[in-house]
Chains A and B, each alone.
Chain A
């Protein structure tokens, strides 16, 4: 899923301080799972903001809502009737959701309430980690199901580098060496022949380097 973390409240206060009526819009998708932008986080943020603006004697109404998904127009449509009641929206969705909201409600200032970080997994409650960089050309078949692009700090395709030590990356003892993991897993799977062959330079056209990406599938279009 897409992982995000809440923006510091000071930053959000700064975004909305010049308005009088603001809607905090959560998203029930990924950001709910990583506890950054779901209903609960909307409530807490809205309450804290109300406390702040009340204390400052500033006229400010803060309302709360959450949409099933903000990356989907059908759900964004649910705001159509009430969007004009607000001066601005703080969206707690990922960057995609914030932008889609802005695209849909062009005249309304939309501010991000979270920092979108990566595509990852919940390793344990409160610990989320990156697993995928969406390069658009999955190579996991030959790397033991572990992605060197997201797990190696140098995104090497022929690692590990000389900085690998006791399974850890040279950048930090808290970071696993992606290639160490790959090697161990290939060994367990009896697939070390994948490791033996040099990997050629990758075609990054399908990654963000090729420009903004789009998938168009005629088979599922209406």
Chain B
């Protein structure tokens, strides 16, 4: 498989390895070293590190600055970018800025509504949506053009990703929506955290029926549960997440101090199971404020050591 960008993530996928990515949430303050500490915890066990962009609409150190730090550590960042807070001028400007630092991966998201965050009073922008952001990055990269028509001499050469949530409603349009993102130019997908394996597999079947798994690399999203409280919270309070009762029962069945281990165990079992699912090309492990557990998960799931790939200098 050919690669078109300098992205290490793209290369690993192209060589047929399961890719492993994880994420790093920047702090709600100016201490950028927090990002470096988190990155250091996982750097040997993942191929690329997503940096969230003011996730859940809570103001944090910006994704771009954090990505630059990660890049300067010699690691591979995935710039998450939501369209909630910037119009097309700001977005394109940040893409150019990111490319100037050699950030080779972008994850295009619409973003949570600010209703959920710490500034519900804010105006939301949503000048573009996630699909249009994909189109924009593709236009900039493949045509060397800005949305306004300006022709650039040098292009931001990014590997384009997006998210997909197989569990949101209505279920039957989820694959159609993925198809739209793929048609817009999306090359990799990191899914919403998977707990309901049966539903996920139904979704994957539909993905395969449309041949989408051959056009886009799907990384299964996983978040280990720390305890039964977290599982209940995710089930009842987080929109778009589907936690089956079996998971809650399983966690509840073990003593409190063992629940974290059980959560990790569930996550590893899921990875093992999903490795067999045709079309799954990797795993995106979102250990929320629990980054230190990522190496353990990766190792136990048989995904360690990570492959080395030759990266040509950009």
Contacts and interface: CB of A to CB of B under 8 A. Distances in A.
Interface residues on A, range: under 10
A201 B121 contact: yes
Interface stretch (A30-38, A42-50, A205-213): A205-213
Contacts of A84: none
B56 interface: no
Mostly helix, strand, loop or mixed at chain B's interface?
Answer: loop
A213 to B, nearest CB: 13
A204 B113 contact: no
Nearest to A155: B123
Mostly helix, strand, loop or mixed at chain A's interface?
Answer: loop
A18 interface: no
B110 to A, nearest CB: 14
A106 interface: no
B115 interface: yes
A218 to B, nearest CB: 24
Interface in A163-222: 201-205, 207, 209-211
Nearest to B125: A209
A202 B121 contact: yes
Nearest to B122: A204
Contacts of A204: 121-123
A61 to B, nearest CB: 36
B113 A205 contact: no
A207 B115 contact: no
Contacts of B124: 209
17 contacts: A201-B121, A202-B121, A203-B121, A204-B121, A204-B122, A204-B123, A205-B120, A205-B121, A207-B123, A209-B114, A209-B122, A209-B123, A209-B124, A210-B115, A210-B120, A211-B113, A211-B115
Interface of A: 201-205, 207, 209-211
